[in-house]
Chains A and B, each alone.
Chain A
Amino acid sequence: MNKRYELNKELAQMLKGGVIMDVTNAKQAKIAEEAGACAVMALERIPADIRASGGVSRMSDPKLIKEIQETVTIPVMAKVRIGHFVEAQILEALEIDYIDESEVLSPADDTYHIDKTKFKAPFVCGAKNLGEALRRIEEGASMIRTKGEPGTGDVIQAVVHMRMIQSEMRRMKSLSEDELYNEAKNLQVSYDLLKYVHENGKLPVVNFAAGGVATPADAALMMQLGAEGVFVGSGIFKSGDPAKRANAIVKAVTNFDDPKVLAELSEDLGEAMVGINENEIDLLMSNRGQ
């Protein structure tokens, strides 16, 4: 394993137990940082607005990313379209701290993901099951997050994906070594990666939850289901009091197994993101990029 890839996995380790927040301008980035975000995701429109307005959504304007980089000292991440390796080259040139090859944007390629091993900058990718997670890691992702269903404020898909990944890992752990060869074939992943899961019962990279987290209770739910940290997209800046909600979610992740603290944190947060049920939406972003 090369040193750069190790360092990129290790940056993700430093983000553990933290909340990564979607922001669309420098002012929101500052609010997120002050609320205790461990990183921000710079994008032009949050997923809920991407859903509402439709059309093609692409990488953010570098100017916006630079403004956010100048405003905060925490890591700054940004999204590229699935398969759009030139957008990734541009983000790397901006010295972005993490690239999210994301199903939230319109995919640029319906077959190939970016060959992430060609980059020095780290990548995080979405996954809804173990096979997707390991295929992204094979391609060079140094961090994984559940896909969930972004921009809905509905946590169900994040729960389904996290449970799926965790239960598949438990199953891999229980297989005998000779059974792994066949599983590697079924999942379309390398034997070595699957053997790591078999031996360690976990992914070889950090695994966050994302897609539909809107409340401190949602964040704590994902942590109790085995997430190592949480991405919150539309949930914060689509709510009544973003600074307060953001801070409550940060503390909910720290105190994810303490219901008394969670009760206090959940109090009087103002209006939550209205949200849409996952079965009321036409576009399932989580089906993008298998």
Chain B
Amino acid sequence: MIVGVLALQGAFIEHQKMLEQLGVETFQIRNKSHLDKPMDGIVLPGGESTTMYRVLRDQNMVEPLKKIINDGLPTFGTCAGLLLLAKEVDNYKSEYLQTMDIEAKKNAYGRQLGSFKTVGEFNGQKDTPFVFIRAPYIVETKNDNVEVLAIVDDKIVAARQNNQFVTAFHSELTDDLTVHKFFVDMLK
């Protein structure tokens, strides 16, 4: 199995290392032609969503990326990746990809001093470590087929809608493979 990791900006290497630990091959997507390579899934990593979107737009990658996601390619978005996929971002007027029926809140926990680590239940797995860095959360789901996978302090922080899976937190910064295993299972 091979997964493309969007590598325009942010913590993409960390995702590659996690996936490689699970026996999944990875490659970096830096321009439009890389989207044509065969892949079993795609990761939209953490970083700055405004930066990633600007580069996606300038490099004519928005439409082809939307198409492969809408065509059903397993997609994993963390933090900025969640924002890129969300249909609505409430406190930020954005045009992003809008492929997933969720409403997200950007910088929902405030600035860096609001960043935190905790453990919680992910898809029934207790004590999964979560790292929130200037993180968003999901304000609400906009479709009945969006499955909530994790809640922290009454806020939705992980969800799945068919082929799209998002987390507001970074599991790629931990040594716990639970969340990445969940994504790898989606590839099969």
- Give A contacts to B, CB under 8 Å: 3, 6-8, 10-11, 13-18, 33-39, 69, 73-76, 92, 95-98, 120-122, 247, 250-251, 253-255, 258, 261
Contact = CB atoms under 8 A, between A and B. Distances in A.
Nearest to A36: B54
B9 A38 contact: yes
Given A10-B133, A251-B55, A251-B58, A73 B11 contact: no
Given A10-B173, A16-B9, A95 B134 contact: no
A74 B50 CA distance: 8
Contact of B51 (A6, A18, A120): A18
Given A7-B116, A34-B54, A17 B8 contact: yes
Contacts of B79: 14
Given A10-B173, A122-B112, A258-B31, A250 B48 contact: no
Contact of B12 (A17, A33, A75, A120): A17
Nearest to B53: A36
5 contacts: A14-B133, A14-B134, A75-B134, A254-B7, A261-B31
Given A3-B117, A16-B13, A75-B112, 16 more contacts: A3-B116, A10-B131, A10-B170, A11-B112, A13-B14, A14-B47, A16-B10, A17-B8, A17-B47, A18-B10, A34-B50, A36-B9, A36-B54, A37-B51, A39-B48, A92-B113
A73 B106 contact: yes
B64 interface: no
Given A14-B11, A38-B9, A121 B31 contact: no
A117 B54 CA distance: 36
Contact of B133 (A7, A35, A92): A7
Contact of A73 (B92, B112, B131): B92
A76 B110 CA distance: 12
Contacts of B11: 13-14, 16
Nearest to A255: B30
Contacts of B111: 69, 75-76, 95-97
B161 interface: no
A6 B170 CA distance: 13
A121 B177 CA distance: 29
Interface residues of B, number: 36
A78 B111 CA distance: 14
Contacts of A18: 9-10, 47-48, 51
Most-contacted residue by chain B among A17, A35, A120, A250 (CB, 10 A): A17
A215 B116 CA distance: 37
B52 to A, nearest CB: 8
A7 B131 contact: yes
B55 A35 contact: no
Contacts of A17: 7-10, 12, 47
B74 interface: no
Given A17-B10, A18-B48, A8 B112 contact: yes
Contacts of A11: 112, 115, 133-134
Interface string B24-51: 0000001100000000000000111011
A14 B112 contact: no
A73 B51 CA distance: 11
Given A10-B170, A11-B112, A14-B133, A33 B30 contact: no
A146 to B, nearest CB: 20
A253 B51 CA distance: 12
B113 A95 contact: yes
B107 interface: yes
Contacts of B48: 14-15, 18, 38-39, 74-75
A247 B117 contact: no
A36 B54 CA distance: 6
Interface string B90-134: 001000000000000011001111011100000000000001011
Interface string B1-25: 0000001111111100000000000
Contacts of B110: 95
